Structure 1
Amino acid sequence: MTATTTAIATAETTSTSPTPVPEHHPLLVVGAGLGGLTLARVLALHGVRCTVLDLDPARDARPQGGMLDLHEDAAQRALREAGLYEEFRRLVQPGGEATRVLDRHATVHHADDAEGGRPEVHRAALRDLLLDSLPAGTVRWGAKVTAVTALGDGRHGVALADGTRLTTGLLVGADGAWSRVRPLLSDAVPAYTGISFVEADLTDADRRHPRAAALVGSGLLFALDQGKGFLAHREPGARLHTCVALRCPAGLLDTLDLADPAAARRQVLAHFDGWDADLCSLLADGDGPLVARLIHALPAGHRWERVPGVTLLGDAAHLMSPFAGEGANLAMLDGAELATALLAHPDDPEHALTTYETVLFPRSERSARESAESLELCFGPDAAGRLAAMMGGGWGGRGGVTVRC
């Protein structure tokens, strides 16, 4: 291990003087999502420690999302680099790669139960796998970043909501769509794509909602027509998670009374007059509260000039719509590749960041454009027929379209 790598691995302690100096962390990652955790894991596997800040008070403070399909050339590759591939295989949901495409009458346009190399796992289980693989204390919970500032010479200051001040020689923004770190590099902000989701769940679906369970099958359901649709996944424990998608103005969801789920369901279902009753039951019979979400994206091809001592990964770098299933995959691959570059150039972190970003930019641009094209396909004319034809052609392994909601 070189002297520089040793410096990265060992943080300086906080001063005990009457006027404490900020804590210094040679490598600071903001965000304990899949990308930031993959970066931390690959580094730790090679004896290099970092500190990961996350605003949640604990690892289980909130739900972590639904099913993910992990691509062989992205997330699966990252898991191999992280030494976690065999453990990941034990998390795969049997039958999760099955895909069905329907129209508003529930007419089946495409059904495929074949395994295509993109196994499905639950995001929470994958995150737990990464968290459990890290040295104790790597993630600092309840560390909400309120400001980041450039200090010169590649160093940056980070202010936390509790008044703590940190400094770092290398800052990585893995903090998602509304990244606090991104403004150090770019003026870009996510824009509304025109698509909104209302998310609902059916629990114990095989017993309590057998018709809906049969409709969704063992994997992923697309029911698309008229610029809207139902996008549903089967999750572990016989849970069905549905994203009701609407092409609509951004303000439409503000009219929903989410404090009254029954009333909100009626409001949303009013947009689906004439649709199959079993499809509508995915929302109408939902258990518990609803979640409303606007789908945003950064411009395809988002990139920045090299700024010493800071970079981005995952949604902070290349937020895109979920209609190619690339978000988590790219975040994990970003994390693994950034770690590999830093390990390869321990005495020259700027060279490492340049190496990483040179690959990051064109790859994320391709995926962002694919995601945008898939969105237009899913909410354009004859969506079910066109999507079924594309999937039947085998383009992109699973037809090139999936969705993570």
Structure 2
Amino acid sequence: MRVAIVGGGMGGLTLARILHRHGIDAVVYERDASRSARPQGGSLDLHPESGQRALAEAGLAGGFRSAARPEGEEHRILDPAGRTLVHHRPSPGSFSGRPEIDRSVLRDLLLDSLPGGTVAWQRQLVAATPRSVGGFELTFADGHRAGCDVLVGADGARSVVRPLLTDARLSHVATVVELGISDAERRHPDIAELVGPGNFWCIGVNRVLSAQRLGDGSIRVGISLRADDRPLAHYRSRRALLDLFDGWHPRLTALVEASDSPPLPRRIETMPTDARWAHRPGLTLVGDAAHLMPPVGEGANQAMLDAAELAAALAADPTDPDAAIRAYEEAMFARIQPIAEMCARVQAMMLSPTAADDIVRFFTPRPAEPASAG
């Protein structure tokens, strides 16, 4: 069984690693030229029931604990006047919750666990053609060709593999602008103190200003806005970004003023929450290619769990990959739909006119109900 995985993100690499542990060879085709070809983004909070479970099945739980930052789970939420609405402090050094790990660090952990040659760099898939004997013939942008018995699309939001299974359309639900502040403790100690060791949100009307501390001491700043028709180029102006927060406390807008990287705007798109497809032999999807959701903390976790469950199904009976894929897909569809619906609700809530009140209620523990007598 020759397995081709298109996409070297968290889902694709986790799948390759777990298959390797079961003695099943796979090749990961990645369009980037190398692991350092582009930034990997901020940090992830890995959930025990999904991302951490997948790493345990990959035999990388120890490596994760060595690299993760439990203190990164601290979460501060403020209003535009700078008043604290929520301040979650994790137990010092505890891994019982959802510790943070930088995306680049996690990706390196997965890459370093794979045998040499598993990842074929600079391989951008342009076509996958069914073969008469089963499987697919793959064609890449540089003219390279390869064959496989099982093709797994792990190639993200703009998946090239997805259209082979479904014509699900993407919906534009938000716009996000990313900026960065390097060496924050030394260069901007007041901002570093404001953000803290983890995640920081300031919730306004129809917009969120966020910040996230990374393991290298930098701060990743994000601006989340409701979807609109403005061209992305509009949000490349720092002045236009500051105008969005007119009247906000200066120590909050300092996050934008202090950034030393150019604004990077992008559209946030999602698939329908009930997206599914009819089974097709030798072909399936994991992660954002299968169920693109708003970025509210589930995407990478569910991608890694997809990978773990697909790998387990293929390893249970490698002589019948189609039965394994069918079983994986049915379980994944049932698992993902309520999670996708929850993510859609959270995304809408965070960018609503009443977001501050809604978020406080969301993060405030409900009092325990009194025990009934008898």
Question: Shorter-chain TM-score category?
Answer: over 0.9
Instruction: Indicate whether 1:350 and 2:322 are aligned.
Output: yes
Instruction: Answer yes or no: is the 8 Å Cα contact 1:196–1:250 preserved in 2.
Output: no
- Give the secondary-structure state (helix, strand or coil) at the position aligned to 2:67: coil
Partner residue, 1:174: 154
Deviation at 1:91, TM superposition (A): 0.8
Instruction: Indicate whether 1:381 and 2:353 are aligned.
Output: yes
Partner residue, 1:391: 363
Instruction: Indicate whether 1:291 and 2:264 are aligned.
Output: yes
| 1:14-25 alignment runs, 5 A limit | none
Of the candidates 118, 125, 129, which is equivalent to residue 105 of structure 2? 125
Instruction: Answer yes or no: is the 8 Å Cα contact 1:250–1:294 preserved in 2.
Output: no
Instruction: Indicate whether 1:101 and 2:84 are aligned.
Output: no
Paired with 2:100 and 2:244, the residues of 1 have a C-alpha distance of: 31
Partner residue, 1:254: 233
Question: 359-368 or 177-186, which moves further after superposition?
Answer: 359-368
Paired with 2:291 and 2:119, the residues of 1 have a C-alpha distance of: 23
Paired with 1:222 and 1:239, the residues of 2 have a C-alpha distance of: 16
Paired with 2:186 and 2:68, the residues of 1 have a C-alpha distance of: 23
Deviation at 1:365, TM superposition (A): 1.1
Paired with 1:254 and 1:186, the residues of 2 have a C-alpha distance of: 31
Paired with 1:72 and 1:247, the residues of 2 have a C-alpha distance of: 31
Instruction: Answer yes or no: is the 8 Å Cα contact 1:150–1:157 preserved in 2.
Output: yes
- Give the secondary-structure state (helix, strand or coil) at the position aligned to 1:90: helix
Paired with 1:229 and 1:330, the residues of 2 have a C-alpha distance of: 24
Partner amino acid for 1:301?
A: D
Instruction: Indicate whether 1:66 and 2:58 are aligned.
Output: no
Instruction: Answer yes or no: is the 8 Å Cα contact 2:70–2:98 preserved in 1.
Output: no
Partner amino acid for 1:341?
A: A
Deviations 1:282-312 (A, max 9, x none): 1111012221111110110111000111000
Question: 299-308 or 115-124, which moves further after superposition?
Answer: 115-124
Of the candidates 178, 190, 213, which is equivalent to residue 170 of structure 2? 190
Deviation at 1:254, TM superposition (A): 3.0
| 1:6-405 alignment runs, 5 A limit | 8=1, 26-115=2-91, 117-193=97-173, 195-256=174-235, 258=236, 264-323=237-296, 325-393=297-365
TM-score of the two chains, using structure 2 as the length reference: 0.94
Instruction: Answer yes or no: is the 8 Å Cα contact 2:6–2:12 preserved in 1.
Output: yes
Deviation at 1:94, TM superposition (A): 4.0
Deviation at 1:45, TM superposition (A): 1.0
Paired with 2:132 and 2:306, the residues of 1 have a C-alpha distance of: 26
Question: 220-229 or 375-384, which moves further after superposition?
Answer: 375-384
Unaligned runs of 5+ in 2: 368-374
Deviation at 1:154, TM superposition (A): 3.6
- Give the secondary-structure state (helix, strand or coil) at the position aligned to 2:163: helix
Unaligned runs of 5+ in 1: 1-7, 9-25, 259-263, 396-405
- CA 1:77–1:143 in 2, change beyond 3 Å: closer, same or farther? same
RMSD over aligned CA atoms reads 1.4
Instruction: Answer yes or no: is the 8 Å Cα contact 2:177–2:263 preserved in 1.
Output: yes
Instruction: Answer yes or no: is the 8 Å Cα contact 1:230–1:243 preserved in 2.
Output: yes
Instruction: Answer yes or no: is the 8 Å Cα contact 1:205–1:240 preserved in 2.
Output: yes
Q: How many residues align?
A: 363
TM-score of the two chains, using structure 1 as the length reference: 0.87
Deviations 1:300-328 (A, max 9, x none): 011100011100000000000012x0000
- Give the secondary-structure state (helix, strand or coil) at the position aligned to 1:317: helix
